Structure 1
Amino acid sequence: MELRPLVRERMNHENGADAQRLVPWPVLNAPFEGSWCVVAPGGATGTHAHHEYEIFIALSGEAVLDSEGERKPFKAGDIVHFPPHTAHRVINESDEDFQLYCVWWDTEMSEKFMARHTSEQALA
């Protein structure tokens, strides 16, 4: 077992949130990347879109998702998917931190995963 700890003191402030990338790391062959994110009370991430597929998993608190002109409440236990090139942001209108885990992937990540997986299987 290899544990990758969340170290809040090492979180970087980027795109309106504090974040720590937890995936990938060298021994983990995964077809995706992931980051723990915290949006401070009254804060918001910047509106952005990208070529990757993405899901957000709400971990604690309550926020609002704003995407393509639509706003929806987003609270602990919820999950949302954004297809590639879909503009989105998280708005924390509450007085508590909003924590979420973000996972994203694209075709290139999937192809690299399969190549590593195939070579690992050949060595086994």
Structure 2
Amino acid sequence: MATVPNDVLRIAEADAALSLAELPVPFIVLFERGDVSVELFSPRGTDTQKPHTRDELYIVSSGSGIFERAGQRCDFKAGDVLFVPAHVEHRFTTFSADFKTWVIFFGPQGGY
């Protein structure tokens, strides 16, 4: 897991996306401090993620598609924010080729 130092002032998405493209996984952890973790996520073909142990926010950076959370579906596009409570089934069921999203995990294990 490659994270930036705690004294970082800025994380550039373009640099993060270049680093992500070199990895075998569809996400890169960019910052961790206390109960906050920031990642860039860009699934390749299919979103295979499983429920997480902490609450999370997705801030869609580019692309569009359909997001599903616990049986609810919604369209999403760049600029949207999506919330998923800890332990809830979710995934991006369809997404454009340019889809990227910031992921912010926060709070205690198990969620609030």
TM-score norm. by structure 1 comes to 0.66
Q: Deviations over 1:67-88 (max 9, x none)?
A: 1112111110100111111110
Counterpart check, 1:32 vs 2:41? no
5+ unaligned residues in a row in structure 2: which ranges? 1-6
Cα distance in 2 for partners of 1:47, 1:22 equals 18
Gaps of 5+ in 1: 109-124
Cα separation, partners in 2 of 1:63 and 1:107, compared to 1, 3 Å: same
Cα offsets for 1:40-74 (capped at 9, x unmatched)? 4xx23114112200000001110211111121111
| Structure showing the higher helix proportion among its residues | 1
Alignment match, 2:56: 54
- Cα root mean square deviation, aligned: 2.2
Say whether 1:73 aligns with 2:75: yes
Deviation (angstroms), 1:100: 0.4
Equivalent residue runs for 1:44-123 within 5 Å: 44-94=46-96, 96-107=97-108
Residue in 1 that maps onto 2:24: 13
Structure 2 length-normalised TM? 0.72
> Matched residue pairs, number?
98
